[in-house]
Structure 1
Amino acid sequence: MQFRLLGALEVIADGHRIDPGGTRQQIVLATLLLNVGRVVSIDQLIEAVYDDPPVTARVQVQICISNLRKLFAAYGHPDAILTRTHGYVLQVDEQRIDARVFESHLSRARRARAGHDLDEAIRHYREALALWRGPALDGMRSRLVQLTANELNEHRIAVNEECVDLELELGRHHELIGELSRLVKAYPLRERLLGQLMLALYRCGRQVEALQVYRDARQMMVDELGIEPHERLQQLEYLILTSAEDLERPVQAAPRRPPDTAKPPAMVPAAIADFTGRDEQVALIREKLTAPPAGTARFAVPVVAIVGRAGIGKTTLAVHCAHEVAELFPDGQLFAGLHGGTPNPAGPAKVLERFLRVLGVPGHDIPDTLEERAEMYRTLLAERRVLVVLDDVSGEHQVLPLLPGSRQAAVIITSRTRLGGLPGAFHLGLDALDSARSVQLISQIAGEDRVQADPTSSASLAELCEGLPLALRIAGSRLAARPHWDIRQLVSRLEDEARRLDELKHGTMGIRANLSLIYDGLGEPARRLFRLLATLNSHILPTWAAAAALDQPVPVVQDLLDELADTHFIEAADSGLGVRTNYRFHDLVRVFAKERLAAEEPPAERAAALERMLHTQLVLTTRAQQHEFGFTELPLPRTGWRPPLSDDLIDQLVASPLEWFERERRVLVAGIHQAMQAGFAELCWRLTAMSTKFFEARAYLDDWRETHRLALEAARQAQDRLGQAMMLFKIGTLSVTEQRFSDARHALEEAAEIFADLRDDRGRAMADSRLAILDRLSGRFDDAAERFDRALTVFGGDDGSVSADSVYILFSKTKLYLDCGRPDESHHLLSEVLEFTRSSGDRRMRAQVMFRLGETHFSKQEFAAGEEAYAEALSAVREIGDRMGEAFILLGLGTARFQQGEPEVARDLLQQARELARTTRQHLVETQAVTVLGELALAGGDVAQAHSLLDQAARFFAEMELPLLEAQARVLLRQAYMTTGDHAAAEAEESRVQQLIEQIDPQPAQRIRERLAQAQQPGR
């Protein structure tokens, strides 16, 4: 049997073409033939056959294998396909596969060429090219197969170019013009083919036609790519134009002469004409190449390693710097691309062979071993000032044999990873271009007028390209090739994330192709982690999330994260160390990761990975709440899966809970969104519930509101009654915090009703405790006391004893005691609560208790003790970053200073409280501060200011339906009107106060009447 891949797939048996089966079977056979002798996994075969695998994909592939075995057996090869642990391996004679025969002829051709037998080399080249019948695996509808087929097609044209080079050397230009014309038509942008056709035409005396080939090609490159032909093609055009003698070649076969060693090698590619920015880096590289690094031996060779992610412009910078310092290295420049980011990097032995030839060593004198070649190379460079540029290095093993032996020479390296094993090397990390330089690069490629005409869109385009020079160059080239586009048009196309990588492609340049090379060079575990990290819709990627995604221990995952970080697929996002390290994707890389996720991971695997990450996030948030507040509101849901994190590691991660929350808040919010979108309703509302106290402690009210709205919707869609009740309770608590009291009462009453239906006494009690706060604020003290007592009965705290469940209710009740004029009872209860906060470690609750204790002391005229309690509370809230708590305490301090007769100090504290309350949207605290400032202005004789402030406060309290606080403000406002003699306005205020008194309980109503009576007395 013979197998033909260099064209449409054909199987030949006994001299006749046979049917290899249907489409799926042909794809499976082609995949096995392309990997002959190697194990092909069944997952790889499934990926080759299907873009969107059905549930029967594995069975269908196995049927194809069975049918192929029958086909092979029918022609005497029953054991051609062997089963292995993870897949199958095809074992046939490789010389029966035309693609392998092609490689054999190519190897013989190159050996003959190295031995200067050009006729023999050309014979083998032509025999290799004759095997082709069309594009490799033509018509094969498989993305995976076509990737390899495209490589074969590219290889074919490169071999054709090699062959033509030799035939031109032998003077066979007359025979080549027809073939070269066809090739140039098929590949109009391949400059090597263009140069060969121009040279053949010129040698045939057709100078005008040779020049026309160049002009047509140049016009196409300028129109479609916005770039000029390479310098080598421009030089050839000049030589043809001037009929240079250098273009003549002998017409008989002759051994090639070794390179002229008198002429220094100049292998560095042409400099980029529109090189932009990097001035500081260029100056630094020049300095490092010419001055020995501090702390290194004076005879050490200078080595600069330019490190950065794909597309950041490492090669461009290296080439630019090589030209910048060329005059310092008069003995030449050597350049080699080591393709470190690809599956097939260049070995140092092969690079040394090339360098030695360029340095004048005949092929037959080049040693066989790497060590001997390196020794010869160092000897040749010992007395020469040569610059060596090594591009795209993957590791030290590629570089070390290529380093010169003395500091007469210097080396520039580019790499995606830091090469820590190169002693004395200076590592220069390359970042993206800033906005101004990004726009400048676009301007130089697309045209300054277009950029200046729409600076806003130009800035947006730079941002979408992330300051990545490759992306910017592609965008600029697309604009240059399409003068009828405006910049906004390209921005709109790039804003569609699903198409962004498709849009960032022009000619041979492409972000996806660049990233694919790196991706293909990773090991499969790292590739899988890279894909699964894209499951999390967050720019922040914690180490624990990676462990959960793979369901692997953290040490295993950290090695894979390092592998991804080394390639700059991810990068550290903060200063966290070890297991606390967070990573992030760049936007373009994240788009690519999502593409690979959709293409390579089945939906069930994606969902399972997301569920593992969300469950781990819930475990961490629960433990963080336990550490910070001394209790957890909800137990973890029962599940058969446990996160791959030990208890010690979890404690280590959340050892500083508030810092942990600040670092991972965005991940938490994103997780709640995803849980809702993915239908994980219970995980969604539980995560949300466990986050509430953190949102409250740091005043992230927008996050609090948005996440709870989503979680409530998720619970309703899932008809999860407990989840609905919990979210309504938390939303009611938020509404109390934001002083939306009507909304709060509605949510809390609905939550209480659902808790009652579920016979959840604990939940009902917590809802009652929040409703009691609303009753107190409204002046309904009896209702508030009844609710507090009913709630405490549920938790066994009606006798004043304190537990984790009752502590908040008891604390809230102390404020009711103060409002009722019972400070001794408040003080007694606070002593019990304070003892509990000491044992629980809840720093925020302790600060609140100390604040309330300060209020209690001041109400008892114990000013020194009150000041001490306030000071401790203020220190505590500032330590934990509780800005809402700080606003409360500043209000209390300002009020106390006013009562102690220190108006200036009081005014300053109250202004601070007002401003801080405004920024944290504590409108009730803000307006209470305004009320006291109005009273302070009234006492100081600034009646106009007092009137303005007190009127503002009264209107707010009326809008919020808080009759007690409104009445207190209007008593003061009446006094201001009396002071100015406006008795009609004063009577109107008194009438309004009397109406408000009817809405509140008798006890607070009596206190309002007393204040009103005092205000009517002369001099008050």
Structure 2
Amino acid sequence: MEFRILGPLEVFAATERLDIGGTRQRITLANLLLDANRVVTVDRIAEAIYGDDLPPTSRAQVQICISSLRRLFAAHGDPDIISTQSRGYIIRVEDGRLDTQRFEDLTSRARRAREAGAPDQAVSHYREALALWRGEALEGIDSRPVQAAASRLNEERILTNEDCVQLELDLGRHQQVVGELGRLVEEYPLRERLRGQLMLALYRSGRRAEALQVYRLARETMIEELGIEPNEQLQRLEQAILTADDSLDAPAEVTTIRAEPPAAPSFPVPGLLPNAIADFTGRAKQVDSIQRELTLALEDPSRFAVPIIVIAGKAGVGKTTVAVHAAHALAERFPCGQLFADLHGGASRQVSPMHVLERFLRALGVPGNSIPDGLEERAEMYRALLADRRTLIVLDDAAGESHVLPLLPGTRSSAVLITSRSRLAGLAGAIHIDMDIFDTDQSIELLGRIAGTTRVRSEPEAARALAELCGHLPLALRIAGARLSARPHWRVEQLVSRLEDETRRLDELNHGEMGIRASISVTYESVGEEARRLFRRLAILDTGMFSVWIGAALLDRTFDQAADLFDELADAQLIEAAGGNGVHSLYRFHDLIRVFARERLAAEETPAERKAALERVLRALLFLAEAAHRREYGGDYVQIHSDAPRWPLPPRLVAALVAEPLPWYERERPLLVSGIRQAAQAGFADLCWDLAISAVTLFESRVYLDDWRETHETALAAARHAGCVRGQAAMLYSRGSLHITEKRFPEARRDFEEAIRLFTDNGDDQGTALVLRNIAFLERMSGRFDEAAAHYERALAMFAGTGDQVASAYVLHNLAQLRLETGDPEGASTLLSEALALSREGGSRRVEAQVLHRMGDTYLAWEEPALAAEIFETALAMVRTIGDPVGEAYSLNGLGLARLRRGETARAEEALRQAVRLARSTGDRLAEARSLLGLGELAVACDDAEHAIVHFEQALALFQSMRTPAWEARALTMLDGAKAARRGGAPGAGDAPAREGRAAGPAVLGRGERMGESGELVG
């Protein structure tokens, strides 16, 4: 694959240009390529597609776009190019396969060649880089975030063009660049550097009047557009042209550009930088950025502030290595010397600014007896000495802004590089460079440089495992590489096996004076006692993400107090932000920091404290899950609860957290799954099964069937171990509902029979009624309508007794379906009117959507397709709003049939094919089979018996695999009719399937035929 974004988005497989698809797929791919080989979150892609007004189905739509792209790439031999990560997706693009990679590589080469005094080579690289552009970056993609990123790329392009032209002017090639500069000035009329270059090129070409005209036009444009005069540099250039200043003359012949060596200064030139890193790896982008930013700052005559760059990141990420490497690369630009100080940001051994200033002043030539005693006086002398000197100051491991403020020079002649575990946001005008961990390739490269490339490459799987166990943290990788280098007889796999034991991992990652534990411990000791307690207790949980409310429960504190502590830990780089904002902010550990946190947890917290903290989190989680369920359903409907105590949160906070219930469930999904497992391990049986049944709101609506199965097997075992009859019954009922979802009806019946026995023995009417309702569904699917009706009626009476309006509405609309299937649409209509009123009174949008769907069926039975289409469109809008892709498939199926009855074949086909795609993407075989029936009926209506037979046969196979006799019979009847039509037989041109579709087809069961384990009505 080859990807191009420097112009319109293009993808090539060999020489074939691929059709990426519609707007959403193009925006999705553009986002992935803008951060190629890095994780792009689902939220970021959704925002790029939809802007600020995200629909509830946005995450599902992103998944659909990703699936479409994967199918496209798989069809061209690259099925694994896009992979799913914990927070989003990553597209892996080999070096040189993305035009921005080649552009960055070529411009970096050009800068190095320029600095090495090889201008011809630099120009060649610049020109090759500029030739990659085919227009504006990602031209034609209508997405604000994408275009914002594209604007940055376009800015890089014009900066590169300016740098290239400047070199060519320095080489005396003014005549060759006049035309190009004219076009660029026309395209970018407000870029003063381009105006100046064009003026100089024209002047040197003997076109003085035209050069002055360029200035006059520039001045008119600047005043008209911005209300300001051209900058001082452009004004001086005009004056120089007017006076024919000799300094503007072109060089006679230039082959290299080398500054004359400066005269030896009359003052000491300090060189305090540590040794350069011989095996420096993987940070070229950051080093180039530092060099570029400092060079631009030093060359900008309008700048008065001191250039400051802050390199921030967690312990061990390689901040010092990058700073030292960049400082050595920049050393020639600072002829007055380089100062370096390790400030030891850890609280116990910080180096004070007083001591650093004493050392710096001595290095700058101040005798010891002349150094002032006070901090302010030392800082003033320091600033005075540096006022006219071009000096680079590197301040390593700063604790905070106050730690470095006295060490900053006062003028722009010097520059400062700072490393810190905090971003030091309080330093005005500082440029921030955030350091992250390595990717796999960078990690393996560093291991190879230290331990030997051949040795590491000979065990590729072990090398990848070693990088993973080191958390791709550069310090950990250095230690691992050093240990391998010191033990040439070890295989890489041998070190991997030692690191796999988490309890010994930090012991193993220790070599000489390098140690991960010591590095993290310094940071740990620098935060407050309460922050350390939160840090330790976060390690109690097995989840990888932490919401702020979790911290409140762990510490038994308020939300605001917990939020402050999370910020303290994040500022110290002990945890890192993982997305979200406000009450939905998420945080996570780096893998090795989590290991350290677990060590501190075991050493500093008693088992009783750990268990109590875990219980509070699980109780709070259950409290929020119930609140989300109530908001989604309009009340505490179709639920079975335990007597486990809850840990309540303030009402206003709860309202903010679960304002959008399903997105809240999605965010907390890892905690729900791991929390159920931890509840079982800790012996919290009631919390365990209650959390499991509460989580079905998410598992069913988002089709997380593996999570549903695993959590319920765990909870059922916990309930049995504790002898909890109600918990066992609830889990069997829920697991049976899962079997219905998977269309495994015999297994569902077995679970329901055991569940109803337990509920009945326990005198639990609500549980009994819920199981009866699902057994009725199984009877319906088997064609035993009388038995189904009897079970529904019995369940309805029980729900009336428990006051569950939503469950009653659900039963009524299923009874209405039975009336439709037995030829009584009037009776069905009466029941549906009552069901609609109950669902709206109960506030359940899901059941209301199902009832509306069933009403659409009724209108089809009455041969009122226009009214049916209107009802189906209302139901479709509702399921899309609540984020139910399977319900959307059923609604599209009903809408397609209604359009077909109206003779709108093209629009009918569009709806039915969408229904098939959605059903397949969610794994709902029943929705897929019924939509295939609809496509078969459509083919019959279009006199296309061949395609009709294909669709009917596919539908029949699915119905047979699900063991649904009623639907099998319907599919067989329609298939026979299509075959007769192909033969030109008695039914005549497909009439039999069409008639069958009208007689039985309107009984489009709707998604309400299956019910989630805790009554999650999804369709």
Normalising by the smaller structure, the TM-score range is 0.5 to 0.7
Deviates more, 1:721-730 or 1:632-641: 632-641
State how far apart, in whole Å, the 2-side matches of 1:464 and 1:902 are: 59
Letter of the structure 2 residue corresponding to residue 665 of structure 1: R
Task: Name the counterpart of 1:850.
Answer: 852
3-state secondary structure, aligned to 1:412 = strand
Map residues 951-970 of structure 1 onto 2, 5 A cutoff. 951-970=953-972
State how far apart, in whole Å, the 1-side matches of 2:299 and 2:537 are: 44
3-state secondary structure, aligned to 1:335 = strand
* 258, 262, 281: which one aligns with 1:276: 281
Task: Name the counterpart of 1:598.
Answer: 602
1:909 Cα deviation after fit: 3.0
State how far apart, in whole Å, the 1-side matches of 2:779 and 2:300 are: 74
Asked if structure 1 preserves the Cα contact closer than 8 Å seen for 2:893 and 2:911, the reply is yes
1:802/1:482 CA distance change after superposition, 3 Å: closer
1:863/1:293 CA distance change after superposition, 3 Å: farther
CA offsets 1:487-545 (integer angstroms, 9 cap, x no match): 34433433443333233222221212211111122222111110101111011111000
State how far apart, in whole Å, the 2-side matches of 1:283 and 1:802 are: 65
State how far apart, in whole Å, the 1-side matches of 2:796 and 2:344 are: 71
1:948 Cα deviation after fit: 4.5
Q: CA RMSD in A?
A: 2.8
1:802/1:269 CA distance change after superposition, 3 Å: closer
Task: Name the counterpart of 2:487.
Answer: 482
Matched, 1:445 2:450: yes
* 553, 563, 586: which one aligns with 1:558: 563
State how far apart, in whole Å, the 1-side matches of 2:301 and 2:693 are: 58
State how far apart, in whole Å, the 2-side matches of 1:370 and 1:960 are: 82
* 641, 660, 664: which one aligns with 1:660: 664
TM-score scaled by structure 2? 0.68
1:867/1:530 CA distance change after superposition, 3 Å: same
Map residues 507-522 of structure 1 onto 2, 5 A cutoff. 507-522=512-527
Matched, 1:386 2:388: no
Task: Name the counterpart of 2:976.
Answer: 974
3-state secondary structure, aligned to 1:391 = strand
1:410/1:976 CA distance change after superposition, 3 Å: closer
Task: Name the counterpart of 1:884.
Answer: 886
Task: Name the counterpart of 1:788.
Answer: 792
Task: Name the counterpart of 2:742.
Answer: 738
CA offsets 1:412-443 (integer angstroms, 9 cap, x no match): 11000021222222121112223322222222
Map residues 537-552 of structure 1 onto 2, 5 A cutoff. 537-552=542-557
Matched, 1:319 2:328: no
Task: Name the counterpart of 1:929.
Answer: 931
Map residues 515-914 of structure 1 onto 2, 5 A cutoff. 515-577=520-582, 579-633=583-637, 634=639, 642-643=647-648, 645-796=649-800, 803-914=805-916
State how far apart, in whole Å, the 2-side matches of 1:397 and 1:868 are: 66
State how far apart, in whole Å, the 1-side matches of 2:717 and 2:970 are: 40
Asked if structure 1 preserves the Cα contact closer than 8 Å seen for 2:809 and 2:834, the reply is no
1:944/1:921 CA distance change after superposition, 3 Å: same
Letter of the structure 1 residue corresponding to residue 859 of structure 2: H
Letter of the structure 2 residue corresponding to residue 818 of structure 1: L
* 493, 499, 512: which one aligns with 2:498: 493
1:903 Cα deviation after fit: 4.4
State how far apart, in whole Å, the 2-side matches of 1:886 and 1:844 are: 11
1:972 Cα deviation after fit: 2.8
CA offsets 1:575-624 (integer angstroms, 9 cap, x no match): 222x2211111111111111111121111111100000000000001011
CA offsets 1:829-879 (integer angstroms, 9 cap, x no match): 222332333344433222222222211111111212111111111122222
Matched, 1:505 2:505: no
Matched, 1:301 2:306: yes
Letter of the structure 2 residue corresponding to residue 279 of structure 1: A
Asked if structure 2 preserves the Cα contact closer than 8 Å seen for 1:802 and 1:836, the reply is no
Asked if structure 2 preserves the Cα contact closer than 8 Å seen for 1:493 and 1:503, the reply is yes
1:982/1:861 CA distance change after superposition, 3 Å: closer
Asked if structure 1 preserves the Cα contact closer than 8 Å seen for 2:536 and 2:597, the reply is yes
3-state secondary structure, aligned to 1:306 = strand
State how far apart, in whole Å, the 2-side matches of 1:834 and 1:484 are: 76
1:974 Cα deviation after fit: 3.5
3-state secondary structure, aligned to 1:722 = helix
Gaps of 5+ in 1: 1-259, 984-989, 991-1002, 1008-1020
Letter of the structure 2 residue corresponding to residue 515 of structure 1: I
Deviates more, 1:361-370 or 1:645-654: 361-370
Task: Name the counterpart of 2:149.
Answer: none
State how far apart, in whole Å, the 2-side matches of 1:981 and 1:840 are: 54
1:289 Cα deviation after fit: 2.5
1:683 Cα deviation after fit: 0.3
Asked if structure 1 preserves the Cα contact closer than 8 Å seen for 2:805 and 2:839, the reply is no
3-state secondary structure, aligned to 1:765 = helix
Asked if structure 2 preserves the Cα contact closer than 8 Å seen for 1:261 and 1:360, the reply is no
Map residues 121-132 of structure 1 onto 2, 5 A cutoff. none
State how far apart, in whole Å, the 2-side matches of 1:856 and 1:543 are: 49
State how far apart, in whole Å, the 2-side matches of 1:861 and 1:686 are: 46
3-state secondary structure, aligned to 2:348 = coil
State how far apart, in whole Å, the 2-side matches of 1:412 and 1:547 are: 38
State how far apart, in whole Å, the 1-side matches of 2:890 and 2:342 are: 65
1:335 Cα deviation after fit: 0.9
Map residues 54-453 of structure 1 onto 2, 5 A cutoff. 262-292=267-297, 298-453=303-458
Letter of the structure 2 residue corresponding to residue 422 of structure 1: L
State how far apart, in whole Å, the 2-side matches of 1:550 and 1:295 are: 51
1:941/1:639 CA distance change after superposition, 3 Å: closer
3-state secondary structure, aligned to 2:663 = helix
1:890 Cα deviation after fit: 2.0
TM-score scaled by structure 1? 0.68
1:301 Cα deviation after fit: 1.4
Asked if structure 1 preserves the Cα contact closer than 8 Å seen for 2:267 and 2:364, the reply is no
3-state secondary structure, aligned to 2:372 = coil
3-state secondary structure, aligned to 2:805 = coil
CA offsets 1:385-416 (integer angstroms, 9 cap, x no match): 21111100001111111111212221111000
Letter of the structure 1 residue corresponding to residue 764 of structure 2: D
CA offsets 1:775-830 (integer angstroms, 9 cap, x no match): 111111111111111111122289xx982342222232222222222222222222
Structure showing greater relative contact order (alpha-carbon pairs closer than 8 Å, 6 or more residues apart): 2
CA offsets 1:638-674 (integer angstroms, 9 cap, x no match): 677744x311111111111112112221121111111
CA offsets 1:114-140 (integer angstroms, 9 cap, x no match): xxxxxxxxxxxxxxxxxxxxxxxxxxx
1:275/1:670 CA distance change after superposition, 3 Å: same
3-state secondary structure, aligned to 1:433 = coil
Q: Size of the alignment, in residue pairs? A: 726
3-state secondary structure, aligned to 2:695 = helix
1:363/1:980 CA distance change after superposition, 3 Å: closer
State how far apart, in whole Å, the 2-side matches of 1:708 and 1:294 are: 65
1:939 Cα deviation after fit: 5.4
Letter of the structure 2 residue corresponding to residue 372 of structure 1: E
State how far apart, in whole Å, the 2-side matches of 1:661 and 1:891 are: 28
Asked if structure 1 preserves the Cα contact closer than 8 Å seen for 2:273 and 2:338, the reply is yes
Task: Name the counterpart of 1:46.
Answer: none
1:942 Cα deviation after fit: 4.8
3-state secondary structure, aligned to 2:482 = helix
Asked if structure 2 preserves the Cα contact closer than 8 Å seen for 1:389 and 1:412, the reply is yes
Asked if structure 2 preserves the Cα contact closer than 8 Å seen for 1:857 and 1:863, the reply is yes
